Amino acid sequence: MAEKMIRVLQNMMAKTDIVRLCVISSLTICCTLITAVSFSRSINFLSYQLFFIPILYAAYFYPKRGLLVALICGVAYQTVGYYYCYPSYTALIAVTSEAILFVLIASLIAYFIEKIRTGEARYRSVFEHSQLGIALFNRTDFAIRQTNTRFPSMLDYTNEEINGMTFSSLFLTSMEKERFLERISKTEATENFEVRLGTKSGEGCWVNLSWNTIDETTISCTAVNINGRKIAEKLNNDNMMKYRQLTENSPNGILLIQGGYIRFSNPSFTLFSGYSKHEVTGKTLENFVYPHDREVFCNFIKNEPDNNNKNHEEMEIRFVTKTGGIRSGALSANSITHLEKPAMMINIIDISEKQRLSDKILEDNERRRGIIITVAHELRTPLQPILGYLNLLISDPEGFGIVEETKKILERCLTSVDRERQIINQMLDLSVLESGKLKLSYSTFPLESLVKSVLDTSGYYSKADVTVDIPDSVQLTADKDRIYSVIESLLSNAVNYSKPPRNIKIFYCSEADDTQHHLSIQDNGIGIEKSVFSSIFEPFQLADAAKLSRRYDRIGLSLSIAKKVILMHSGDITVESTVNAGSTFTIHLPKEMQNAP
């Protein structure tokens, strides 16, 4: 910030200098008056030492002028002392000695302060900033006093040649010299002053100057060579014109946005939006964005690109055309420099047709799920009385006159009908899960008791040798019924796919600092090929569909349903398997459920 200057007589003085001058004058006058009183009243404790106050003050801020203040104080002290001590020659000699002491002390102070400030300027400017061009020059006539080797080398001068010049003579043009003189007259410190200095051969070299005042006569100036950057910017501006010509024939909409406003649009954007080039220039792109997408668009524009990649990630945004229609566009943006200022180039790819196809696919999927649910309900309805009658007949074969052979046929029919019912129920569950309409009902419950409940209810203890290793303290926060069905599905697979003697291990593993529960179910079954790990969780997918569906009566829905339920809990199911050795399915559930209310 420039210091205020005040005209005093014919000279311009800084406001700070005027204040300091007033302080020094006031102190000198006060000391003189106090000394006169002490001499006239013979007050011994008021002595010549009072004059050191203005002398020290002046010598600190103005080392050379401090000598003048010391001389004035000495004359004033000697005049007063002579007036009151005459004709005592002893007293007169003492007064003269004390006045001389003023000048000696001021000289010592001025000498050391000058040495300290000169040393600080030299070492701070030359050594601490040795990678920059440094020049020390006179504040009044701009004569260069000292430079480091980097400053003259960037202008192709030697140290001897540059030290015999003035700093103001280095500017390439008179206009740039006037800019410098105007700036330095207004402020003692400046940063990032871009200007051209003339090289020895007369060519221009762009530099970034920063200077500050070291003392009342010396200015330290640093210079950074930015000639390469300026040349690149000029080439960039030239290339911008060429790029603009290329964008005229681009099939994608292209916009140049600077300061939040559209500065350029190509013909493809006109076809996309229906607005002419003049109708969009000077407007914000947000004005053309569909209202429901404006918040997303604003976040897209505000997000800074990655440091290693100046491109923004692609974003799909809907736009309102001039006729009021809605069109979808895939936006990508990258930061550029236009006319030496930051700008943004936005590329818009018309994906309206793609969006319509996606909407059509979603609509068809919804219709397909609706058909599946309707058909499943229609199939399940007649199964209920069939199951009822079959159970009734089998429960009392003698009462209905059923012989043993007929009973066995009815039991096989009951098994088939029950399997059909389970398949229909699984299809309904899968349709509901895919529709996203299923709501989870969270509660906190012990994991061990839930697992044992599944084992007891489904009778797995009688079908296999089952071991359970779950700490009593483990509590889950989840939808209990859904987790029950997941564990039941995994246990059913483990038992059905295992080879006699069936060995099933259920164990829990999670460290205290782990954010997830890990429940594993291990079998000694047929195993799964690694190549099909990713597909076994897809609907109607089996590790070996042709063989397994016949041998184990499986259709490949249980794992798909289990996976979707766990994903809804923000968890996952993973599998490890070795062919003919067995498989281990692990349920991973977060300890703090993200979707819990």
Query: Which pair of tokens denotes residue 391?
Result: 């159970």
Buried b (16+ CB within 10 A) or exposed e, 264-278: bbbebbbebbbbeee
Summarised one tens digit per residue, pLDDT across range 87-103 is: 777 777 877 777 787 77
**Cβ(16)–Cβ(23) under 8 Å?**
no
Q: Which two structure tokens, joined as six digits, stand for 408?
A: 């066995």
pLDDT digits (tens, 9 = 90+) for 411-464: 788 777 766 766 666 666 666 666 666 678 899 999 999 999 989 888 888 889
In the structure encoding, which two tokens stand for residue 298, read together?
């604003």
- Please give the Cα distance from 7 to 275 (Å, whole number): 61
Tokens describing residue 436: 């996203």
List, for the chain, all residue ranges whose pLDDT scores fall below the cut of 70: 1-11, 43-49, 52, 63-64, 116-117, 119-131, 235-246, 303-313, 353-380, 418-419, 421-438, 539-556, 593-597
CATH architecture of 356-435: Orthogonal Bundle (1.10)
Q: Which amino acid is at 480?
A: K
Task: Give one word for 142, left, alpha or beta, with left for phi > 0 and alpha for psi -120 to 50.
Answer: left
pLDDT of residue 50: 72
For residue 401, what are its two tokens? 């006159």
Q: Calculate the dihedral angle through the C-alpha atoms of 90, 95, 96, 102, rounding to the nearest 10 degrees.
A: 150
pLDDT of residue 596: 45
Beta bridge partners of 218: 138
Query: What's the pLDDT score for residue 28?
Result: 75
Fold agreement (129-225, 231-350): yes
- Between strands 503-508 and 465-469, the pairing is parallel
Joined together, the tokens standing for residue 526 give 């047929």
Longest CA pairwise span in the chain (Å): 160
Query: Tell me, what DSSP letter sits at residue 248?
Result: T
Give the DSSP letter of residue 123.
I
d(CA 427, CA 558): 10
Structure tokens belonging to residue 282: 């000077």
Is cis: bond before 501, omega within 30 of 0?
yes
Distance (Å) of CA 216 to CA 140, 145, 350, 420, 516: 10, 14, 66, 100, 69
CATH class of domain segment(s) 231-350: alpha beta
Tokens representing 513? 């600092």
Cα–Cα distance, 316 to 330 (Å, whole number): 4
Q: What is the pTM of this model?
A: 0.38
pLDDT at residue 536, as a whole number = 81
Q: Is 514 helix (H, G, I), strand (E, B) or coil?
A: coil
What is the H or E stretch that residue 44 is in?
none
> Is the Cβ–Cβ distance between 376 and 384 less than 8 Å?
no
Say if strands 190-198 and 442-446 run parallel, antiparallel, or are unpaired: unpaired
Predicted pLDDT at 445: 93
Q: At which residue do the structure tokens 């050191």 appear?
A: 52
Closest by CA position to 42, among listed 82, 92, 84, 86: 84
Closest CA to 596 of 493, 442, 467: 442
**N-term to C-term CA, the chain:** 57
Q: Give the fold, CATH level 3, of 129-225.
A: Beta-Lactamase (3.30.450)
Contact 549, 542 (CB under 8 A): yes
Instruction: Encode pLDDT of 5-50 as tens digits.
Output: 666 666 677 777 777 778 777 777 887 777 777 777 776 655 666 7
Q: In the structure encoding, which two tokens stand for residue 486, read together?
A: 């997941």
* CATH of span 442-590: 3.30.565.10
Type and span of the H or E element at 53? helix 52-61
- Judged by DSSP in three states, 103 sits in helix
3-class SS at 338?
Answer: strand
- Domain map (residue ranges) of the chain: 5-124, 129-225, 231-350, 356-435, 442-590
